[in-house]
Structure 1
């Protein structure tokens, strides 16, 4: 019995020594590549990408694949646990160096404003035209509904409370809602309320796009049908231009933002309805990534619109000045999105061609 125990113990020791020898040989054969990869990754993590040589940059993908292959072999053959842990950490760091973000918030904002946002918006040209047509249609539908039956006004505008803007209101009463608001208090709270309301509409129009874009389209129609009803009301009292000026000071920015949100939702819905050769979930994910940058900009536009609506519209009491501000904002947005195209500033500096996924 004792002899068999010693024999087994000797065999066990021999197996341990053989495993250690295999681990040492495995490490010695590949350690130089691992060390080179670790040095490159450390420099990238330290923000010293420009100090790397072209040879190191070109070798990075190959070294990364070598490390991943080594990790797979080490796991399969049950090599030294410390070696496996080292390779796991190295492979993870190398993956982030190759495929992870390589810029801070400041650099991202610079690329976002200097072309990235505009490029993302222009990528939704078809959906933007469709959303614009839907919004115009919704405005016309709202006008026609209330012109045929004024009860539709209350349905489209919701609970009005003590608001004097109702069918049958006099010209003087409606005119007082457009002018003479310079002494109104609490404009900051009003702006915050307007931002919350407008952002809710925009986010719903975007988020509901997953249902093949149908809820986004219906939301655009409903939102602009109320606009049509309001235009009908003021037009009946000869205050069309005054209302357009009152709305334009913020509406050119707000409606543009809602249009972009609706177009983003429609884009996701169209991608899911017509995924092509990819799975529906993959098509939706790709569309979501394309539209996410647009929606970041939509939130910024809604903040601007809330400030214009909460402050500018109340403090500026001239129809001409309001039209000038609204027209200027629309011209600035159009110029930024469609006319100003810097030389691909949104392309992130990083690794040369062939080193990405």
Structure 2
């Protein structure tokens, strides 16, 4: 025991100067930034880090005192992020995510996005055909809470009035309600992807049937064009987000079904990381859609103006996600 104590003290005495120097450098970098360090300090930082890691390895191997091992672990971990960590502050990392990481993640789901869009379109066609043939199908596709009186029993005049904007409900409250509903659909499409993507596909279809049912009802009263403006002023953003959420769920489900050389858990985890990046963008799109749905749709009552806003938003999102970018 005496030999271990003596060895620990000698070990500390021989190397403590380097540890103190490294700790002092890290303290200065924390208070200012790495850019404020001199060239000599920047050259010394990786050398001192390697010395600390080497000391930690020796301390663990020779069973020196636990406090010393804990100190060296904390010092090495702290230095690691300065030597190998991400350069730049929070603003730089956020800019990189917005400008590079998110669009790249969305482009990586191109196949799944097309599949989700096809399922949504198929559901729309099915809903339109069934309701057009038998209006009784309308209640099966459109929940009463979302219909708000827009059903086959409504008169043409009342249906036209619902497309004019306004309403008794405060716009901020309406925007919050609609955003919550849209977010629930998108999150469900993403989360259900773990169940082999089957529920995600069904949710895409059901969303489409609801859309088709609306068009069958209003189109049968000669209000199809007006309904398109009423829906698409926010729909090009909202449905784009829902399709991307569905694509994220399909990617996870595909990884579960076809894991390749990896295990299913490892494949699902890898797909989940990419899908989670896309879902951050989906959340932002749903927030914008909620504002458009709760405010712009109520304040902008002209059909042409609504289509113009819808087209501008679709061009904005498409350009942001899919226009090629220079890589470093």
With the length of structure 2 as denominator, give the TM-score of the two structures. Answer: 0.88
CA distances 1:34-63 after superposition (whole Å, capped 9, x unpaired):
456545544554453334659957973x76
Deviation at 1:219, TM superposition (A): 1.1
Question: Which range is displaced more, 257-266 or 64-73?
Answer: 64-73
Q: Does 1:295 align with 2:279?
A: yes
Larger Rg over CA atoms: 1
* Cα RMSD after superposing both structures: 2.8
Which residue, 284, 287, 302 being the options, matches 2:268? 284
Aligned pair 1:121/2:109, yes or no? no
Equivalenced residues, count? 327
1:1-21 Cα deviation digits (max 9, x unpaired): xxxxxxxxxxxxxx41x2233
Match of 1:323 among 301, 304, 307: 307
Q: 1:155 aligns with which of 100, 123, 140?
A: 140
Shift of the alpha carbon at 1:33? 5.5
CA distance in 2, matches of 1:231, 1:54: 70
Q: State whether residues 182 and 316 of structure 1, in contact with CA within 8 Å, keep that contact through their aligned partners in structure 2.
A: no
Report the Cα offset of residue 247 of structure 1: 0.6
1:236 matched residue in structure 2:
220
Q: Which of 26, 37, 55 is the equivalent residue of 1:70?
A: 55
1:49 corresponding residue in structure 2 = 34
The answer to whether the Cα contact below 8 Å between 1:40 and 1:56 also exists between their aligned partners in 2 is: no
Residues 178, 246 of structure 1: 8 Å contact kept: yes
Judge which range, 114-123 or 190-199, deviates more.
Answer: 114-123
CA distance in 1, matches of 2:186, 2:8: 58
Residue by residue, what CA displacement relative to the aligned partner does 1:208-247 show, whole Å, maximum 9, x if unpaired? 2111222211111111210011111111111111110111
Structure-1 separation of matches of 2:228 and 2:79: 57
Q: Which residue of 1 aligns with 2:78?
A: 93
Structure possessing the higher relative contact order (Cα contacts under 8 Å, 6 or more residues apart): 1
Structure 2 unaligned blocks of 5 or more: none
Determine if the alignment matches structure 1 residue 310 to structure 2 residue 310.
Answer: no
Structure 1: 5+ residue runs without aligned partners? 1-14, 345-357
Closer, same or farther in 2 for the Cα pair 1:55/1:104, shift >3 Å?
closer
Query: Residue 121 and residue 35 in structure 1: after superposition, are their counterparts in 2 closer, same or farther (change >3 A)?
Result: same
Could you list the per-position Cα deviations for residues 277-296 of structure 1 after superposition, in whole angstroms to 9, with x for gaps in the alignment? Answer: 22222222222222222211
**Mean Cα deviation higher: 147-156 or 101-110:** 101-110
- Distance change >3 Å, CA 291–CA 44, structure 1 → 2: farther
CA distance in 1: counterparts of 2:17 and 2:192, whole angstroms? 53
> TM-score, normalised on structure 1?
0.81
Distance 1:261 1:47 in 2: 41
1:62-81, Cα deviation, whole Å (9 max, x unpaired): 76565445324323423234
8 Å CA contact 2:25, 2:45 repeated in 1: no
Which region of structure 1 is more displaced relative to structure 2, 162-171 or 79-88? 162-171
Mean alpha-carbon deviation: is it higher for 49-58 or for 265-274? 49-58
